[in-house]
Amino acid sequence: MNFAVDIDDTLLDFVGTYIVFHNETFKTNLKKEDFKTYSFNHARGGTMKQAVSSVRQFYNTDFFKEMKPFPGAIEIIQELKENNDLFIVTSRPYNMKNGTFDQLSKYFLNMFSEVFFSSNHYTRAKNSGKTKAEICNDLEASLLIDDSLVYSKECVKNGVGAILLDAPWNQNGSVEGITRAKDWKEIGGLLL
């Protein structure tokens, strides 16, 4: 089967690492539980524009470069790769392509067949111009593994299955047709 996999907060601990960067740079005391939505301005204060700009700043730091995978992610992906075709579908900005490939080859070398950059619901960045659901349909992916309720819902609406990795920002909202998993071990239990 073909599976689509998100990067940030699915494979790699984006928010956890952003928080370390943010607390050190702006002398804040943010915690993961503060991120009740994926619009970072709700957690850090200020405007959406300032939040997006802080993420851009984060992209250029060693914090970002050193971002780590979640426990079990490498092992489960490795096992899934044995019998399935895996694709990255990320809504990171396309200009993060090189940094993204560096991170993927560091932890997930040769595990993904291709990397796709979708449009971003939150920042409205267009990238390839296609949504995650459209890319999943093009790939004939049976499901998307993601931490975003928005992208998961969009997939289910378009006939693609979704596994939603639990996070403080995806707790509110209907999840009909979406399977929740609390960690990679649970994802392995569902798919292996």
Instruction: Answer yes or no whether residue 13 interacts with Mg ion by CB under 5 A.
Output: no
* DSSP-derived secondary structure for 56-91: HHHHTSHHHHT--BPTTHHHHHHHHHHHSEEEEEE-
Q: Identify the residue among 5, 9, 104, 143 touching Mg ion (CB under 5 A).
A: 9
Q: In what order do the strands lie in the sheet with 85-90?
A: 114-117, 85-90, 2-5, 143-146, 161-165, 178-181
Instruction: Answer yes or no whether residue 6 interacts with Mg ion by CB under 5 A.
Output: yes
| Type of residue found at 138 | D
Among candidates 104, 100, 101, 84, which has minimal Cα distance to 92? Answer: 100
Which CB atom, from 15 or from 30, has the smaller least distance to Mg ion? 15
Which CB atom, from 9 or from 134, has the smaller least distance to Mg ion? 9
Q: How far apart are CA 54 and CA 74, in angstroms?
A: 28
Among candidates 151, 192, 142, which has minimal Cα distance to 175? Answer: 151
Among candidates 186, 182, 188, which has minimal Cα distance to 170? Answer: 182
**Segment lying near Mg ion (by CB under 5 A), choices 80-88, 110-118, 145-153, 172-180:** 145-153
Which CB atom, from 33 or from 82, has the smaller least distance to Mg ion? 33
**Segment lying near Mg ion (by CB under 5 A), choices 3-11, 21-29, 43-51, 174-182:** 3-11
Smallest distance from Mg ion to CB 165, Å: 8
Instruction: Answer yes or no whether residue 147 interacts with Mg ion by CB under 5 A.
Output: yes
Instruction: Answer yes or no whether residue 154 interacts with Mg ion by CB under 5 A.
Output: no
**Segment lying near Mg ion (by CB under 5 A), choices 63-71, 130-138, 144-152, 159-167:** 144-152
Q: Identify the residue among 3, 4, 5, 8 touching Mg ion (CB under 5 A).
A: 8
Whose tokens are 């002398």? That residue is 27
Smallest distance from Mg ion to CB 90, Å: 8
Smallest distance from Mg ion to CB 10, Å: 5
